[in-house]
Amino acid sequence: MELRECCALDATDLARIIAEREVEVAQVKACAYKAIAATNETLNAVIETWEADEPCEKMGDWGLLRGVPYLVKDLPFEKGRTCEMGSQLGKGVVCQEDSAVVDRLRTAGALSVGRTTTSEFALAAVTENRVTGQTANPWAPDRSAAGSSGGSASAVAAGMVPFALGNDGGGSIRMPASFCGLVGLKPSRGRVTCAPDPTLNYSGLVVPFALTRSVRDAALLLDCTQGAAVGDDVVIVQPKGSYVASIKEATPPLRIGVATEPWSGVKVDGDVKEAVSRVAEQCAELGHEVQISRPQFDFDRYLEAQKAIWSAYAHADIAALGRETGREPSESNLQSSTLAVYERGRAMLSEDLINALQTYHAVTRDVAKWFETFDVLLTPTCAITPRPLGAYDPDAKNLSVDSFFEEQLAPHESFTSLANCTGQPAISLPIRQSRDGLPIGIQIMTRFGDEKTLLQMGAQLEQVNPQGRESLPLIHSGRT
């Protein structure tokens, strides 16, 4: 199989041609390694590959994904693999058990071929750390791929693999999807299990999933990975039928609220505002009822609660890793932003976390009331287009938690983090570009548990904006 041909296919098409015996699994896997070799020196998205592992012929080609290669984020996903979490503190750490997501992908026939870069402990909105350096954006290698799943996004956008695993606790799948011109789905809380981690780790903010090239791939992966694991404390109502089948159905007329101004008050790039306005016009032309509206809640209280929740859990995770490795968390092995969050968590009182959780519950109810009137919230994914590498330094001197959120997180996640608070599904769609040709992600968010509507509308917008899927970035293995 030619590299150019392989890199042009999404997971759905790759699985089909493997199933129809048009190509062997070994050929597809070899193409993935060639694609990584062709582009990774420029992008720095992949840390290591598993080329020396057991031949793929013995790993099975059964299930919906039938030998499709993918990459995992540098977090504890896959048993026996190094998972350093982008940190010197985690140097040499090896994952002790498979995540349920990896196990389900293996059952579906997908083949893990390596691991990707991440921001340190997946905290920053840029994929730049002391261990692996800076990960570049395939659309413009001098620009950021965002974070924290920036390595996965850069790899998929460059054609290395059709999808890569990430996780999303404030926008960490959707933000890099926006910057790299991909589909980035954050499922509802409980839709995709976090096992063996607690379902409500980080109070349920974090959800594992993937970055993909198409909406149909997101639907396919959701079919393969959705559902609770034994012992989960959140068990969501199961869908009727498959998500792949649902996106082939006609999208019903929907009531859509549009917001181009974030609750944070951060300035939104002109190209981003224009992109959302154009998509809103398209929605009206497609027969949807569209009006300017957004949920109302106390943003200042929400922001302080967000800082408290992230600080409390980050402190617990980092302290546990320090005990495991025998290394004391300090400025010698933690970036300044991570250390600030860690220290804030260590200084917190139990009532600080309880109050933060109560604020999140109140915001969730306020947002749910808005969704009694509207089916969909349409916003930008990020307030900005891809910025130059180094524009936001997560290891800058004198960073505090407050300055970290204000200077680095707010421009990236002002629109995304709400869905993590409420647990609702949201997706970033690559259907617009800036005047200088950089991707602009459009976010849509639906009611809790309603991935069907989310994916249907996503597929509809993807169909009327084919350039989002068809355009290739500057650095792409299919160009070699």
Catalytic residue among 112, 152, 172, 264: 172
**73 in active site:** yes
- Signed CA dihedral, 147, 151, 152, 154: sign only: positive
**332 in active site:** no
Strand partners, 46: 116
Cα distance between residue 65 and residue 104, in whole Å? 11
Catalytic residue among 87, 112, 144, 148: 148
Catalytic residue among 73, 186, 307, 452: 73
| Whether 133 contacts 43, CB under 8 Å | no
**148 in active site:** yes
Cα distance between residue 8 and residue 158, in whole Å? 10
Buried b (16+ CB within 10 A) or exposed e, 34-44: bbbebbbeebb
Which active-site residues does the annotation give?
73, 148, 172
